[in-house]
Each structure stands twice: as C-alpha cells, then as structure tokens.
C-alpha cells in the first residue's frame, strides 16, 4: 500500500547548504541529485514493532532537471514560497496503517454479558440471607448451609486454570458459553432440593464451575471492545454486574421465603429455586444467540498486540514480584468480601436482626458499592493513579468495616444501614480497580490470565476464612462474631501492607503512549490544511518533477 507524505520546502534545506537559493531575479538551479541527497539526509523513516517499511530506489526520473523548467510561459518572475510542499510516496506494508475505532455494538456486548454475569451472582448467594430458615427446614448445620457458597468458591479455585486457558486461547465466546451452560444446569438441579439438600449443593457446584468462565472475562471484553479512555469504566460495569446479582440474591429470597420457619418453608424454598431457574434460563438465552467474540478491527494498539502464550504467561507471573504482591492483596480483600457475603446472616442474627434486615443491609452494601465504583473509576481514568486510589479506598474500607463492628451492639437499624453503606462504598470499588491494575502491570499477558489468577486468590482466602469461622470459631455468640470480623479486619490490613510495596508500572498505558508518540512523529512530515492550500497553486508543476518514490 502507499502512504503519501508532503515535505515542506524547509525540510530540503540542510544547514542551508544543500540548495543554492539565489536572488529572485536570477535563475534558481536545483538539480535532481541535490534534491535526492537532501531527502535522504532529512527524512528518516522509523521502523516500528510489527510494521515493515519497504524502501524503493528512486528511478525513472529525468536527472539534472532544473528550476528553469518552472518558469511560466509569460516569463514572469518565479517565487519559491517557503511552505511549498513536495509530494513523496512511501510504500508500506498493510500493518503500518493502523486505524483504531470502537463500534456501537460494544454496548450490546456489555448488556449481553451482564445477563449471565448477574444470574451467576444470584445463584451463588441464594441461601445466604435465608440461612436460618434453611437450617431449620432441612435440619443441617451452619457449615452445611455455608457449603452452598463454599462449593462454588472451591470449584472456582479448581477450574480457574482451565477457564483461563480456554478464554485466552480458544476465545471469549466459547468461554462465556461454557459458563452459561453450567449456570443454567446448576439452577435446574437445585429443584431437587426437597429430595435431599445435597442436590442444592450439587447445583451450587455447577454454578461454581461456571464462575471462572464468567468472572474472568470482563477485563478481556473491555480490552477487546473498548478504547483506553473507556476501558476502566467498561471493566467496572462488567465486573460489578456480578455484585449487583449478589445484591439481588440477598434481597429476592426474602420476598418468597418467610422470615420465620413454618411448615410451608420447604415449599417456599422450592418455589424460590423454580423462579430462579426460569429467570436464569430466560436471561441467558439472548447472550447465546447474539454474543460476539470481537469487533472487526481492534479499538486500540494494546488490543492488536499479540498476547503471550498461556504457559509462557504463567512462568512470567510467578516470577513477577509486583503481581505476587497484588495476588496477596486481592486475596485478602476479596476473601473478606466473600466471607461477609456468605456469613452476614449468621453474624447479624446474634445481635437481634432478622433475615429481612440482612437482605436490606446486603442490598444497601451493593448499591453503595456501585456508586463508589462509578466515582472512583472515573477518578482513576482521569489521573491514572491506580495505586494511590486503591490505597486510599482500602484505608477507608478498613475504617468503615471497623465502624460496622463497633455499632453492632447498638441494634439500631438506621445506624447499621449507614455503616454498611460506607463499607460498600469503599470496599466494592477495589474489585474493578484491582482487576484493571492487574492488566496494566502484567501486559502483554492476556487480561483473563492476570485477572483470573487474582480472583482465584480471593476465592482461596474466602474459603479459608469461612471454614475457620464456621468450623473453628463456630459463630455461637456475639463474641464469636467479633472474632470472625476481627479476622477479616486483619486480612484487610495485611492486604494494605502488601499494596504499599507494589511498584506502579503501567505497562499497557505506557505501550499505548509510546505508540501514540510514534504516530505523532510520523505526522511531523504531514502538512496542515492551510499550508496545502497555499502551496497547491504554485507547486503543481514542481510536484510533477519531484514526485519521488522512496
């Protein structure tokens, strides 16, 4: 392909020695050899990564052409204007022409992905807000009820590596479809809950298998479909939709299952399973039909860069100190988040709160988290200070979590509601911010691998915290609740310490900045529209002679 570059008159003047510029009343002799030498000295073409510039020798040009040929027929005085432009042609490969654009369909991709993502969150947390009723209806222990959440988290840990491989090597579409399949199957298996509570746990296992295929995809979708200016916002939306599903999963069961145990509790729980199975299936079908792998052309330079292979990526990450620190940090933060979401009803009932109260607290926690995520994502998109914003938000999260612990004995609904609002506002944004931060510091490794691994860390820490809380501490009194929450507080402080040692090396942003700088250098040889208009009339004949191929 050919790329046209217009060179100004000054670009041919090398130290005022290449061209002899005589007074206007004299003839101006400018030979071909002089022009050729000037071009080769002044024009430097930069060979960039993945781009090849093919140089061709200048030929088929009449040599020793002089400016005397430019004298018009009326023998008028010729004036060489400084912004006279010479048109040169550079033949380049197709890779050199990069036109990045985003497509309107990207927002449909967001909507389509939101359905299975939200449904998976609803499915995971279904039994949390009605844990007391489930205990009484099926005569099971706290630990068995918590298995409905633990099973999903444990499956995430086991399936994380295969899901990362499929998403990065086989593609988003296949990975998301696998997640949808297991989410739907798990929802329908739970309908057998009244035969045995084990069927409910098995259904949660299927939902857990689906989780890594869905939760690991947001960063890759944002990178493949969105320009850098919108990528942080897209990641926040895509990852927090699951949190919205968790909020609905907290709130919805209270409308179907009574707050106190009765003879109808089992049938109410069955109805809840049936309603959820129908909704989950109906919401996931459009995604199966309309979800696309990627746009026709990439939206950014980083999206067009070939990513490292899965095995190479894993070897690189285990040697990356910054990633290991982020891995531990996110494990502490998300682990406590998952633990609170799973055990919140066990915590609050010891202080006189009902399951309905738990549903409202959980919903407020999620709503405030969405507000906080929107605000902080915009802040980070503007200033690119990932580490600073994450540290400040983590400190605020620790303080608000401490406030939640402090006001538990007060047993005033409004005060507890405020404390959960603040905790959600500062804690929830840490999820999308950390996911994008992981993509930045691990570039050019596939987004699904980096974000998937830190999500795995969160599930591991969450499983550990839940097992300790239900089996070791055994949440039988208010004192036990404080011990469990103190464990979560310790994990958050530990995570903050590790975050302080991370170096903010935004590799993906830097790569895009370097690419933009190279483009700007190329544009230096291009004229502005005004110069082109001024030079056009006086340089038409000049261009006919000096139209070179390089």
Distance of alpha carbon 436 from alpha carbon 438, whole angstroms = 5
Which tokens in the block code for residue 277?
């199975």
List CB contacts of 199: < 8 A, sequence separation 6 or more.
189, 190, 191, 192, 193
Q: How long is the chain?
A: 550
User: What is 105-510's CATH topology?
Assistant: Growth Hormone; Chain: A; (1.20.1250)
276 in Cβ contact with 126 (< 8 Å): yes
Asked if 450 and 323 count as a contact pair (C-beta separation under 8 A), the reply is: yes
- In angstroms, the CA 140 to CA 307 distance is 48
Contacts of 166 (CB under 8 A, 6+ apart): 174, 175, 178, 213
In tens digits, the chain (550 residues) has pLDDT values of: 444 444 444 444 443 444 444 444 443 444 444 554 444 444 443 333 333 333 333 333 333 343 344 344 434 433 443 444 333 433 344 444 456 777 888 899 999 999 999 999 999 989 988 888 898 899 988 888 888 888 888 898 899 889 988 988 888 899 999 999 999 999 999 999 999 999 999 999 999 999 999 988 888 898 888 888 788 788 888 888 888 898 888 888 988 988 788 888 999 999 999 999 999 999 999 999 999 988 888 877 766 666 667 778 888 888 889 999 999 999 999 999 888 888 888 888 888 888 788 888 888 888 899 899 889 988 888 888 899 999 999 999 999 999 999 998 887 888 889 999 999 999 999 988 998 898 888 887 877 888 888 888 988 998 899 889 888 877 888 898 999 999 999 999 999 999 999 988 888 778 777 777 776 666 555 555 554 454 454 444 444 444 443 3
- Decide: helix, strand or coil at residue 469: helix
Ranges for all domains in the chain classified under CATH 1.20.1250.20: 105-510
DSSP 196-233: -HHHHHHHHHHHHHHHHHHHTSHHHHHHHHS-HHHHHH
Q: Pick the closest to residue 548 from 96, 172, 37, 153 (CA basis).
A: 37
Exposed, middle or buried by CB within 10 Å (0-12, 13-18, 19+), for 334?
buried
CA distance 108 to 475: 45
Sign, CA dihedral 241-246-247-252, equals: positive
The phi-psi region of residue 547 (left if phi > 0; otherwise alpha if psi is between -120 and 50; otherwise beta) is beta
Specify the pTM.
Answer: 0.67
Closest CA to 163 of 436, 422, 453: 453
Whether the Cβ atoms of residue 548 and residue 61 lie closer than 8 Å to each other: yes
Q: Which of 313, 41, 261 is nearest to 131 (CA)?
A: 261
Residue 141: CB atoms within 10 A of its CB come to 12
Helices (H) and strands (E) in the chain, counts: 21, 4
């Amino acid at each position: 392909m050919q790329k046209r570059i217009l060179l100004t008159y000054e670009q041919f003047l090398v130290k005022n020695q290449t061209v002899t510029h005589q007074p206007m009343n004299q003839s101006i002799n400018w030979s071909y050899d002089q022009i050729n030498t000037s071009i080769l000295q002044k024009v430097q073409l930069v060979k960039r990564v993945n781009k090849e510039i093919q140089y061709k020798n200048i030929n088929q040009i009449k040599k020793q052409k002089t400016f005397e040929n430019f004298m018009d027929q009326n023998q008028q005085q010729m004036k060489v204007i400084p912004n006279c432009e010479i048109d040169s042609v550079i033949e380049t490969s197709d890779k050199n022409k990069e036109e990045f654009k985003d497509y309107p369909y990207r927002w449909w991709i967001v909507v389509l992905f939101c359905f299975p993502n939200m449904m998976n969150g609803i499915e995971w947390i279904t039994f949390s807000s009605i844990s007391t009723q489930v205990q009484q209806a099926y005569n099971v222990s706290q630990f068995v009820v918590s298995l409905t959440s633990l099973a999903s988290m444990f499956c995430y840990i086991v399936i994380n590596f295969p899901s990362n491989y499929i998403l990065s090597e086989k593609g988003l579409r296949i990975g998301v479809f696998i997640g949808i399949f297991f989410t739907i199957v798990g929802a329908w298996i739970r309908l057998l809950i009244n035969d045995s509570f084990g069927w409910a746990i098995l259904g949660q296992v299927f939902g857990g298998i689906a989780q890594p295929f869905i939760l690991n995809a947001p960063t890759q979708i944002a990178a493949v479909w969105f320009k850098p200016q919108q990528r942080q916002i897209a990641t926040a939306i895509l990852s927090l939709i699951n949190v919205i599903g968790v909020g609905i999963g907290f709130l919805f069961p209270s409308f179907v299952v009574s707050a106190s145990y009765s003879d109808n509790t089992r049938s109410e729980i069955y109805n809840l399973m049936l309603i959820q199975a129908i909704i989950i299936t109906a919401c996931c079908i459009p995604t199966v039909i309309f979800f696309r792998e990627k746009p026709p052309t990439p939206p950014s330079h980083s999206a067009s860069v070939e990513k490292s292979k899965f095995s190479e990526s894993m070897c690189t990450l285990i040697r990356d100190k910054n990633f290991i620190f982020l891995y531990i940090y996110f494990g502490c933060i998300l682990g406590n988040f998952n633990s609170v979401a799973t055990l919140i009803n066990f915590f609050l009932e010891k202080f006189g709160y009902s399951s309905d109260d738990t549903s409202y607290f959980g919903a407020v926690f999620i709503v405030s988290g969405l507000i906080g995520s929107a605000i902080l994502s915009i802040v980070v998109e503007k200033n690119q200070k990932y580490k600073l914003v994450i540290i400040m938000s983590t400190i605020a999260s620790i303080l608000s979590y401490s406030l939640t612990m402090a006001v538990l004995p007060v047993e005033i609904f409004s005060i507890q509601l405020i404390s959960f609002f603040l905790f959600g506002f500062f804690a929830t944004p840490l999820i999308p911010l950390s996911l994008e931060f992981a993509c930045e510091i691990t570039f050019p490794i596939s987004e699904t691998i980096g974000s998937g691994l830190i999500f795995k860390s969160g599930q591991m820490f969450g499983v550990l915290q839940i097992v300790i809380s239900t089996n070791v501490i055994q949440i039988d009194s208010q004192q036990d609740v404080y011990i469990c929450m103190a464990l979560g507080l310790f994990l958050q402080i530990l995570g903050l310490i590790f975050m302080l040692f991370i170096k903010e090396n935004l590799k993906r942003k830097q790569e895009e900045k370097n690419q933009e700088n190279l483009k700007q250098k190329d544009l230096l040889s291009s004229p502005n529209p005004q110069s082109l208009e001024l030079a056009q009339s006086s340089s038409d004949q000049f261009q006919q002679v000096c139209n070179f191929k390089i």
